[in-house]
């Protein structure tokens, strides 16, 4: 049976259809989860896609964490379920306390929409399981608040516990330690700024995102 992936939709989310389409390409069955839903249903994995949840008012992701679906996502994550936050979804997961640190304005002070090359820094996460460390992937970033920041203690823990999942080859935004993606201690919650779903076909420049999504599915149903 096709793995079922819940795709969370807040008011202002705008990447849910791209994510659903890319998930379909790798054989998953996506289901949209409205932010007022109180359950993730029978999802094998959950993706929090990009956009501007609740208008990004106050701070990116700050209000989304109060949506009822986030309690369900937290419960799902606490039970070991695979949860991936992409871009705004990463911001939501940090604000919700599911991932450490925060995303601040790009040091360029620019909204950045461009392809970037990242390397897989850990092959032990819900999104990168089984992908050899050092694998280079071309994905695209599309954000204003994409610069990862955390205190020295968190950074030490992320490095020591092999929780930096993706690093930029050429840091585009001032992210600490070139971090493009991290995971939690349980390795089942992953946040990344680049969009795997926007690299879902050679026709649009890269199909490297499918490598990550395939890994997500294989880890989620393992």
Partner 1 sequence: MRFAAHVEVRLRPGIADPESATIERALPALGFDDVHELATGRSFRFEVEAESAESARVRAEELAGRLLANPVMEDATVSVSEPVRG
Per-residue x/- track, 5-44, partner 1 (CB under 8 A): ----------------------------------------
Binding mask 157-186 vs partner 1 (x if CB under 8 A, - otherwise)? -----------------x------------
Q: For residues 161 and 184, what is the distance between their CA atoms, to the nearest angstrom?
A: 10
| Residue 150 annotated in active site | no
Residue 92 or 210: the one with the smaller Cβ distance to partner 1 is 92
Q: Which of 47, 199, 52 is nearest to 111 (CA)?
A: 52
* Shorter beta-carbon distance to partner 1: residue 105 or 124: 105
What are the C-alpha distances in Å from 118 to residues 6, 29, 136, 168, 195?
A: 26, 27, 6, 4, 11
The reply to whether 107 sits near partner 1 by the rule CB under 8 A is: yes
Give the helix/strand (H/E) hosting 5: strand 4-9
d(CA 111, CA 212): 24
Q: What beta strand segments (E) does the chain contain?
A: 4-9, 29-34, 45-48, 82-86, 102-104, 112-120, 136-143, 147-149, 164-168, 179-183, 189-192
Q: Which residue has the tokens 């992409």?
A: 86
Give the binding range for partner 1 (CB under 8 A) out of 28-36, 105-113, 119-127, 132-140: 105-113
Does 85 contact partner 1 by CB under 8 A? no
Active site residue 195: yes
CB 97 to partner 1: min, Å: 10
Smallest distance, partner 1 to C-beta of residue 172, A: 14
Residue ranges that bind partner 1, judged by CB under 8 A? 58-59, 62, 94-95, 100-102, 104-109, 147, 149-151, 174
Q: Which positions are catalytic?
A: 87, 195, 197
């Amino acid at each position: 049976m096709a793995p079922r992936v819940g795709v969370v939709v807040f008011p202002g989310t705008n990447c849910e259809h791209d994510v659903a389409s890319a998930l379909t390409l790798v054989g998953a069955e996506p289901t949209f989860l409205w932010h007022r839903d109180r359950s993730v249903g029978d999802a094998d994995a959950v993706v929090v896609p990009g956009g501007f949840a609740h208008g990004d008012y106050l701070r990116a992701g700050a209000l989304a964490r109060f949506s009822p679906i986030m309690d369900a996502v937290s419960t799902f994550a606490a039970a070991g379920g695979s949860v991936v936050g992409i871009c705004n979804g990463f911001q939501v997961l940090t604000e919700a306390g599911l991932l450490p640190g925060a995303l601040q304005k790009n040091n360029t002070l620019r909204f950045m929409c461009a392809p970037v090359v990242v390397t897989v820094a850990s092959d032990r996460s819900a999104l990168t399981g089984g992908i050899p460390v050092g694998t280079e992937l071309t994905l695209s970033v599309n954000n204003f608040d994409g610069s990862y920041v955390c205190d020295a203690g968190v950074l030490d823990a992320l490095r020591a516990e092999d929780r930096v999942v993706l690093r930029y080859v050429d840091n585009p935004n001032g992210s600490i330690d070139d971090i493009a993606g991290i995971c939690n201690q349980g390795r089942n919650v992953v946040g990344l700024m680049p969009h795997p779903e926007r690299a879902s076909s050679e026709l649009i420049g890269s199909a490297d995102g499918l490598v990550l999504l395939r890994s997500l599915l294989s880890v989620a149903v393992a």
